[in-house]
Amino acid sequence: MKETITIKTLAKELNISISTVSKALNDSYEISIETKQKVWDLAKMLKYNRNPSASNLRSHKTKTIAVIIPEIANNFFSQAINGIEEVARQRGYHVLIYQTHENTDQEIAFTDSLLSGRVDGILISVSSDHDNRDHFTALVKEIPTVFFDRVYEDIDAARITTDDYESAYNATSYLVECGCKKIAYLFALNNLNAGKQRMSGYQDALKAHQLAYREELTVNYDKDADLNYQNIKDLMLNERPDAVISSIEDLALPCYYVCKELGIHIPDDLKIISFSNLNTAPLLNPSLTTITQPALEMGRQAAAILFKILDKKHFEPNEWLTLKSTLIKRDSTACH
């Protein structure tokens, strides 16, 4: 470690005052272009780097945003972060990552700690383990926050989602058109609006096609993976549906396994459609049709909204954007 170089160093070297250097570095209009140039040149030569802590302390701007998500190692979220990071980068912002692992207590700890002024804004996709939003009401008043994908509608903040209802509705209709009569539903995220919307879309589509919604055709997600497996197996044994819609990838997988175990052939005996954002679609088992959310785009847009708020420095009537999902049909699930 060598001696650190500060604006003081530059000032001394150029025989000008510290404040002049500071202003020059900030491209202030009160400084002559020649002086600025001299400062910039020397700064570059000496590889000067502004000390962010000192700068933040004075200016109350951190050039940093936080992203709070349930899980990084999830295709949807990692793609969303990709989009967020891309936009943040363009603006010269830094991106902090926090994973809740679907734990509300952890989420509360994060949001509380972010009240310290460590970041200028927050992007968050809420944890699914509780329907608890108390910690957000205070947060959104203190610091610009954008909710994405997993949102609470009754929090007064900007938010961006996908068309959960419509996509589930369309997927269900599609299965009906394929001739399916007994469409099961693997239900997750039931604490969240997204989960509820997907379920409603499924139910309404059934109704629209004169098919009855039956609770026995539904499996509720459980943290216990073994239990999920067993429940799905029971569903298959007791009801033998001819199609399944899964609200998350994590339920489509055990379903796939169950079929393997029971010798149920996909898609001839059973068609599966799952909400999924695997970026390796072509490698997927061709019998799985997916409802794919525009994760990258959502990340970009969410960040864009946040920066819009940050730019205005005051809170706008909060935006609510909805992006469209895509039903990606693999060959072998296509209607015949």
Partner DNA sequence: CTGTTAGCGCCTTCAT
Partner DNA sequence: ATGAAGGCGCTAACAG
In the complex, which residues of this chain contact DNA (CB under 7 A)?
A: 4, 6-8, 15-20, 22-23, 25-26, 29-35, 50-51, 54-55, 57-59
- In the three-class reduction of DSSP (H, G, I as helix; E, B as strand; rest coil), residue 126 is classed as coil
The yes or no reply on residue 94 touching a second copy (CB under 8 A) is yes
Rounded CA-CA distance 133/126 in Å is 9
Binding test (CB under 8 A) with a second copy, winner from 285, 312, 322, 335 = 285
Rounded CA-CA distance 52/335 in Å is 59
Nearer to DNA, 20 or 287 (CB): 20
Nearer to a second copy, 54 or 335 (CB): 54
For residue 142, what is the enclosing H or E element?
helix 134-142
Which residues within the stretch 123-142 sit at the binding site for a second copy (CB under 8 A)?
A: 142
The yes or no reply on residue 288 touching a second copy (CB under 8 A) is yes
- Are 144 and 61 spatial neighbours (Cβ–Cβ below 8 Å)? no
Nearer to DNA, 6 or 332 (CB): 6
The yes or no reply on residue 116 touching a second copy (CB under 8 A) is yes
CA 76, 82, 84, 85: dihedral to nearest 10 degrees? 150
Say which entry of a second copy, DNA, none residue 17 contacts (CB below 5 to 8 A, set by partner kind).
Answer: DNA
Nearer to DNA, 11 or 288 (CB): 11
Contacts of residue 309, defined as CB under 8 A and 6 or more positions apart, other chains included, come to 121, 144, 146, 158, 315, 316
- Are 129 and 191 spatial neighbours (Cβ–Cβ below 8 Å)? yes
Binding mask 180-219 for a second copy (x = CB under 8 A): ----------------------------------------
Rounded CA-CA distance 79/86 in Å is 11
For residue 287, what is the enclosing H or E element?
none
The yes or no reply on residue 74 touching a second copy (CB under 8 A) is yes
Binding test (CB under 8 A) with a second copy, winner from 19, 153, 257, 327 = 257
- Shortest distance, position 331 Cβ to a second copy, whole Å: 10
Binding test (CB under 8 A) with a second copy, winner from 7, 31, 39, 95 = 95
Of 248, 272, 246, the C-alpha closest to 259 is 272
- Shortest distance, position 121 Cβ to DNA, whole Å: 18
Nearer to DNA, 18 or 323 (CB): 18
- Shortest distance, position 24 Cβ to DNA, whole Å: 7
Taking CA atoms, 6 is separated from 12, 39, 247, in Å, by: 10, 12, 54
The yes or no reply on residue 231 touching a second copy (CB under 8 A) is no
DSSP 45-111: HTT----HHHHHHHH---SEEEEEES-SSSHHHHHHHHHHHHHHHHTT-EEEEEE-TT-HHHHHHHH
Nearer to a second copy, 94 or 329 (CB): 94
Nearer to DNA, 43 or 180 (CB): 43
β-strands 320-323, 158-162: how paired?
A: parallel
Which residues in this chain contact a second copy in the complex, by CB under 8 A? 1, 4, 47, 49-54, 56-57, 62, 64, 71-75, 78-79, 81-82, 85-86, 89, 94-99, 112-113, 115-118, 142, 249, 252-253, 256-257, 278-280, 282-286, 288, 296
